[in-house]
Structures are given as structure tokens and as C-alpha cells.
Amino acid sequence: MLYIGVDLGTSAVKLLLMQADGTIENVVSKEYPLYFPHPGWSEQKPEDWWDAVKEGIKELTAACDKSQVAGISFGGQMHGLVILDEKDDVIRPAILWNDGRTGKETNYLNDVIGKDKLSQYTANIAFAGFTAPKVLWVKENEPENFSRIKKIMLPKDYIAYKLSGTFCTDVSDASGMLLFDVKNKCWSEEMMEICGITRDQLADIYESYEAVGKLKKDVAEELGLPESVVIAAGAGDNAAAAVGTGTVGDGQCNISLGTSGTIFISSRDFGVDENNALHAFAHADGHYHLMGCMLSAASCNKWWMDEILRSKDYAGEQAAIEKLGENNVYFLPYLMGERSPHNNPDARGTFIGMTMDTTREDMIQAVLEGVAFAIRDSFEVAKSLGIQIERTKICGGGAKSPLWKKIMANVLNIKVDVLVTEEGPGLGGAMLAAVACNEYADVEEAAARIVKVADTIEPDPELAAKYEEKYRKFAQIYPTVKDLFTKLL
């Protein structure tokens, strides 16, 4: 049988067609617009996602035996607010995960409601990108839209709804809304009251690998697929990527260098960082995970290369970088503000340390190292909790860079496992669909059978020692300059 994974990203949807044994038959990508109506705002039209998914599925399955398609599931950009009215029409463009407009609402939740109560209700504190602050923003700034809300959804759940007609979400994605009691895997009554919404406006909750329904008749006809196709709940993009990299079970680690960057640590047991610097979320394997998330990772390098250097030769530009661990230029990668561990939507990208002999290569290297150092900030929080990490998987667009992987291995001073297939959320989504169709007994069995390591990058002790010194200097920059950021707005 065949399984489709839908990776609903920020710049494009990437669709993957997988055989039951994990062999990838086809991959298709469809882009859609991203809107910035005001500085710090970030929006997309859910209708654009749906059009791209439909066209993508048609192209993805054009050459296969469509009768063999058994299931579809998802990895989706997290935290986005999608709201529908009583006619199931989208009320306003979706407010995305990297939108920074909710500073007032975030401060209200953290400072007035209180971080202790939020952590008690949801296992997390408020971050500007989370969904609950967005709900409060709409309530305050667009009361007419707020009064029309019939359904509150996350991005991938809008696609699941359009495919199956089931108003659903999964535990991993719901964990990032600040409306969900992560420990008990249910909606928080307290948070619903705080946000002025009702249970009827929130979706039914499923484990990521559970079937939520089947393809609607009209959609099946339009896509040319059988109505028997199972739609599985899917997962937030980071949890789906963790499934796709085999980061399931207890004590596994994955680093994702996508538009955002994450360090993801799986656990069989529920646990919370007492300072809430790391997110405590439910995992797509039925258990839990801790995650540190930075808002700009590979997107920092894309910005530097595309907008500043005006170069598309990423590999060529990096080829000239030779003196690792010796760069005196530092970069704070906070182009969209920052989440873990600083929780500061006002933070901004910053270069420091340039001199008259600073080179083009130094600046490129500083961007790559800055992202690695910022990942290490969350890594340090995990270590402070007694979590011992000796190796990690790696995925995302940035993972295609040999240089960046080498930097990451030495900045963290751990082994970095490179996978045979680096399809992250799309592969994870397809694997969840396969579990929902009983192709595998559970997510861990699917990961053990499908995910394979191609290579391991070992840290070099001498280089790791140099990066240890550099990181200690990097770690002093943000505390020194953070008060300037609000003055620069």
C-alpha cells in the first residue's frame, strides 16, 4: 500500500508518497504566498494551503496506482490561528507561528494570569507565537471577527478538516496552543475561560497516529483517490519530523534546521523545565517531549545569502570557510524575535565583533555559528535538568550543509547522525498514516523499520574546545544588549 505525508510548511507544502516499507516513491512541493501586513506580523491564507495540497496530491499520485493509496497524514507548521465561521468559511488570514503582534497579550498571560498558573494549566508559559495570545489579540482588536468564531483550528487541522470533514487536532500540535493540558491530554477549562472561548469551538483530540475519518466523497472524486483513504490526525511539524528521524521512545534527540530551529528530546514520561525555557509537549509516539525552538534558523542563512549577498551559491560560498573555531564575529540570529530560551519577541538579529579585516567568509561563518550557538542555549537547559545527550539526529534544509553539520557537532560536542532519508515532517506524516492503517503496530516499530542512519559526524576534541570558549562569549552578548532591543523599536 501507499501512504501520503503532507508537510504543511511556512513557504510551501511538501508532499511525500511512501511505500509501506518506507521507500519514497515521489516528492512534490507547492509554494504559496506569505504576507507581512505590518512589521512583525506574518499571515497566510488557509485557502492557499488547500489549493496547494489538492494540486500537490494530484501531481504526487499521477503516475501511481491510486487504488493503492491507503492513508494520508500530516506534519504542520504549529501555533497558527485559523478561525472559521458557522458556514465553515475562513474569517481572516491565519496568524502564523512567527507572528510577533501579541506582545501585550503574552505579557498579560505571563504577568497578570501568571507563569505559575499557566504552567499548572498547560505545562507551558505564554510565548508570542502561541495560539492563545492570538485568540486574545483577535478578541481585543477584531471583536466582530471574534464574535463570528465557530471553529478554532491549527493549520494542518484545516487540511484534515477539508479532506475528511472531521473537526480534529492531535496532542502534539494542541500542546503548542496554550489551551491544552499537556499532562492530562485534554483542553484546559481555565485557559478556555481566560480566552473567552468554549469547548465547542475547539476540536476533538486524537493521538497523532489515530484515524480521524476517511476521504470525503467529493474530495475523493476531485483527487482521483478511493473514498477508503484513511485520514490520520498527524502531528506538529517538529513532532512529525521527530517521527521521520526516528526520535521516538525515551531519551532520543533531533535537531531541525528549517525555517525555525529546534532541539527535540523525546521522553516516555511527562516532565516540565521549572523555568519553562523549554516547551513541554505531548509527542506523536503517544508519549512526551521537551523542545527548544528558535524562530529563525536556516532562514537566517537564506536571508544573509539571498537578501544581503544576493547569491544562490550556498555551497560555493561555504567552501571558502576554513578556520572553524577562530571567528571573532558573532551573530545573534533573532531576525523574528526569539522564543527558546529568551522568550523575547523584541529581540533582533545582531552582528558584533567586526573589524577592518573581517571578510565575507567571516560573516557567513558567523551566521552558521550563531544558529548553532542559539541551539546550544536550549541544549544547556536540557543538561541543567540532568538530561544526558550523547548524540542527535539532524534534519531540515540546513542539514544539507556538510559545514553546518560539522559546526553543530562541535558546538554541542556530541555525535550527529545523518539519515539516509532527510524528509522530516513529510516522512513522519506518511509513517503516522501507515500506523493508522495498521501497517505497523505503533510509531516506534515504524521508526525502527524505516529510519536508517547513513553517516555519523564525530566532534573533534580540539575544535570542540575552541567552540566551548566561543560559546561562552556568545552567551554573554544577549544579556548585555537585550535592553537595547525595545529602545530600537
Q: What is the mean pLDDT of each run of 10 residues along the chain (489 residues)?
A: 97 97 97 94 97 98 97 97 98 95 96 97 94 98 98 98 98 98 98 98 98 98 98 96 94 91 92 86 96 94 97 96 96 93 92 98 98 96 88 92 98 96 91 98 97 96 98 98 91
- What confidence score (pLDDT) does residue 375 get? 97
Domains along the chain?
2-238 (3.30.420.40)
Residues with Cβ < 8 Å from 409, sequence gap 6 or more? 415, 416, 457, 458, 459
Give dist(CA 82, CA 160) in Å, integer.
13
| Spatial distance between the Cα atoms of 333 and 36, rounded to a whole number of angstroms | 19
The catalytic position among 237, 346, 362, 377 is 237
Quote the CA–CA distance of 49 and 157 in Å, as a whole number.
11
258 and 396 Cβ atoms separated by less than 8 Å: yes
- DSSP H or E segment with residue 171: helix 171-174
User: Which segments are annotated as binding site?
Assistant: 78-79
Show the cell assigned to 41: 506580523
Cβ neighbours of 21 (radius 10 Å): 9
What's the rounded Cα separation, in Å, for the pair 462 and 473? 18
Dihedral angle at the C-alpha atoms of 119, 122, 127, 129, nearest 10 degrees?
Answer: 170
Q: Is 346 a catalytic residue?
A: no
Nearest C-alpha neighbor of 283 from the set 295, 271, 275, 294: 271
The angle formed by the CA atoms of residues 96, 99 and 103, to the nearest 5 degrees, is 135
Rounded Cα–Cα distance for residues 381 and 72 (Å): 36
Provide CB contacts within 8 A for 71, sequence distance 6+.
Answer: 1, 3, 4, 211, 229, 230, 231, 232, 433, 434, 436, 437
Instruction: Give Cβ neighbours of residue 213 (< 8 Å, ≥ 6 apart).
Output: 164, 165, 166, 168, 230, 231
Sign of CA dihedral 339, 341, 343, 348: negative
Amino acid (1-letter code) at residue 103:
G
- DSSP structure class, residue 379: H
Q: What was the pLDDT predicted at 325?
A: 97
**Cα(145)–Cα(298) distance, integer angstroms:** 34
**Helix H or strand E segment including 204:** strand 204-206
| DSSP secondary structure code for residue 458 in this structure | P
pLDDT confidence of residue 421: 86
SS3 (DSSP) at 317: helix
Alpha helical stretches, state H, 417-460: 424-436, 443-450
Q: What is the DSSP annotation of 56-97?
A: HHHHHTTTS-GGGEEEEEEEE--S-BEEE-TTS-B-SPEEPT
> What CA–CA distance (Å, rounded) separates 117 from 178?
12
> Residue ranges for the binding site for substrate?
78-79
Cα separation of 305 and 317, whole Å?
Answer: 9
Provide the 8-state DSSP code for 229: P
